[in-house]
Amino acid sequence: MKIMIDIDDILTDFNRAFLRIAHEMFEEVPLEVEVKVWDFWKSVPNLTLEMEEKVWEVIRNTEDFYESLPPYASGEDLMRLGDLIAEGRHEFYFITSRFPTKGRNVQIQSQRWIQKVIDEPVSVIVSSRKGELCEVLGIDYAVDDAPHHIENLLDHGINTYIMDWPYNRHIEHRLRVKSLGEFLDSILI
């Protein structure tokens, strides 16, 4: 079986990292916020579009930013993923559309983060055309959280699970999961 896993807000907690930086830069921006809309400034109290752009600039200028992200998936789920990769019975593809930051390139930063938490070497593909890529790769199942990627995956006939976040609940789709473990349980019956 071929399985595609997105990285941010599936494996890593990008939203929390973004909010931490925003709060450090602008005290009036709260740390604990439920991100309900894909654009942070539309969801986060006291955060304007101009402030959000300044946070993105800090992220772009942070060396090896992606290697410092906190995990979103539980340690147990990450360990299970590592075990599944080590077994070699399934092919796992990690596809992300992250933008470049200072330091190592996005692919290397992403691979290093995953390898650090699951203790298995992996390869990462950086692409914003996930549906087309998954179709070419013959992906059987995918999991993503970003509305535009979910729609692109579905448009290309990929069996897609949605990591349930408030910002993607407008997409009518029955395959929703709340964790990496729940996704793995659903496809590895």
Span 104-149, pLDDT tens digits: 999 999 999 999 999 999 999 999 999 999 999 999 999 999 999 9
The residue extents of the domains of the chain are 2-13+70-187, 14-65
* List of long-range contacts for 85-91, beta carbons under 8 Å, 24+ apart: 85/118, 85/120, 85/122, 86/120, 89/1, 90/1, 90/2, 90/3, 90/188, 91/1, 91/2, 91/3
At 87-113, the pLDDT tens digits run 999 999 999 999 999 999 999 999 999
Question: pTM of the predicted model, to two decimals?
Answer: 0.94
- Looking at domain 2-13+70-187, its CATH architecture is 3-Layer(aba) Sandwich (3.40)
